[in-house]
């Protein structure tokens, strides 16, 4: 019994020692490496006293060098701080040159909104001044030219208004007043074109008066007028009632406008194929005549009519009489898809520049109404002769 107890105690002590040794090995994991280092140190030769002194000197030198580097870093930081302080002082200094210049220009700008070299030297604005002068001249010419054209149209209408009211029951219908004023009776189409409408005459459906003046309101047109002279014209278009004009087409007047109308108008280029001599009818030599019937032409140009035509030779541009009036002919290469509508028309074109006075204007209007009545009388005589 005692032997077994002793064996158990021995085993217990041995086990405890083994466990302690194993724990010590586990706690020191790098013991193997420590043993190797210890072996290497044992293998190294011993260091002499001279080597020890050299190592000490080298360590001291390294310490001094590191200390100097640290001192230099400290000094560099101090220099940077001093430079920043100086810059702050310069920026905060009110007498600094840049601050003085900035404040000077600010005060200069506040005092003068426009630079001095632009204000004192007007030569810099030559182009602008020229443009403004041209615009002002154009506007001034527009106002003066428009007023001149309007006053000319109203003056002519006032001179002949009494005679027009004798021939027509309604003169210058504005759609509002029964007896409109001159400014209301004369309708302004443009700044250089005015119209007057008249109606209420036996045998006449209506008469349209067109007053076309020069473009005085346009400065460029006025300048061009010095090279190609223009005229103020008055055109009377009388549309006759059916039966008031027989088959009859004729035009006479100044050569240039007559030839132009002959080339442009469809009825003239179709029916008036022959150019008549003006001397046999007592017309002035500056006139041209295109007529369809010689008999009716002789009946119109009575001695009294021929005398008035010679008197106002320059005032009369052309007189167009037609029962087949359909307007201008189509452009070259084009044709009508259907026949155009025709009207019986008597058209007078007068030059306003050659008949400024009231008497000449009234006499020309009387001639116009006489020719209209003469055309109707010719138709009546032809109709009476055919039924005899």
Taken in order 359, 361, 366, 371, the sign of the CA dihedral is positive
Q: Comparing 88-92, 132-136, 164-168, which segment has the lowest mean pLDDT?
A: 88-92
CA angle 186, 191, 194 (to 5 degrees): 25
pLDDT in tens, 50-62: 444 455 555 555 5
pLDDT at 300 over 50: yes
pLDDT tier, 329 (very low <50, low <70, confident <90, very high otherwise): confident
What are the structure tokens assigned to 195, written together?
């119209």
| 265: DSSP letter | B
Position 312 scores a pLDDT of 92
pLDDT in tens, 21-49: 544 444 454 444 455 454 554 455 544 44
Position 203 scores a pLDDT of 86
Of 355, 71, 65, 59, nearest to 233 by C-alpha is 355
Position 292 scores a pLDDT of 84
């Amino acid at each position: 019994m005692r032997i077994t107890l002793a064996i158990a105690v021995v085993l217990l002590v041995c086990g405890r020692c083994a466990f302690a040794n194993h724990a010590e090995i586990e706690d020191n994991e790098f013991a193997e490496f420590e043993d190797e280092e210890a072996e290497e140190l044992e293998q190294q030769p011993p260091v002499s006293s001279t080597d020890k002194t050299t190592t000490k000197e080298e360590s001291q030198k390294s310490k001094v060098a590191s200390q100097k580097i640290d001192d230099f870093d400290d000094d560099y930081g101090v220099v940077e701080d001093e430079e920043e302080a100086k810059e702050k002082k310069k920026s905060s200094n009110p007498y600094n040159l840049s601050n003085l210049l900035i404040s000077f220009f600010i005060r200069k700008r506040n005092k003068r909104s426009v630079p001095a070299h632009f204000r004192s030297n007007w030569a810099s604005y030559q182009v602008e001044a020229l443009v403004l002068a041209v615009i002002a001249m154009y506007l001034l010419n527009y106002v003066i030219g428009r007023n001149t054209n309007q006053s000319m149209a109203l003056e002519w209408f006032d001179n002949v208004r009494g005679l027009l009211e004798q021939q027509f029951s309604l003169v210058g219908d504005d759609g509002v007043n029964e007896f409109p004023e001159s400014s209301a009776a004369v309708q302004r189409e443009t700044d250089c074109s005015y119209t007057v409408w008249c109606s209420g005459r036996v045998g006449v459906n209506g008469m349209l008066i067109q007053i076309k003046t020069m473009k005085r309101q346009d400065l460029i047109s006025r300048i061009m007028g010095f090279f190609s002279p223009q005229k103020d014209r008055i055109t009377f278009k009388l549309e006759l009632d059916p039966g008031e004009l027989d088959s009859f087409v004729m035009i006479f007047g100044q050569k240039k406008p007559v030839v132009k109308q002959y080339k442009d108008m469809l009825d003239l280029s179709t029916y008036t194929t022959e150019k008549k001599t003006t001397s046999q009818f007592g017309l002035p030599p500056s006139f041209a005549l295109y007529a369809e019937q010689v008999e009716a032409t002789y009946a119109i140009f009575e001695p009294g009519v021929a005398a008035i035509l010679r008197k106002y030779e320059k005032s009369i541009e052309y007189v167009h009489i037609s029962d087949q009036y359909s307007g201008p002919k189509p452009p070259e290469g084009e044709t009508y898809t259907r026949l155009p509508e025709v009207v019986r028309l008597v058209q007078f074109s007068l030059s306003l520049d050659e008949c400024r006075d009231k008497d000449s204007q009234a006499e020309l209007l009387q001639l116009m109404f006489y020719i209209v009545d003469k055309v109707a009388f010719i138709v009546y005589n032809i109709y009476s002769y055919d039924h005899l």
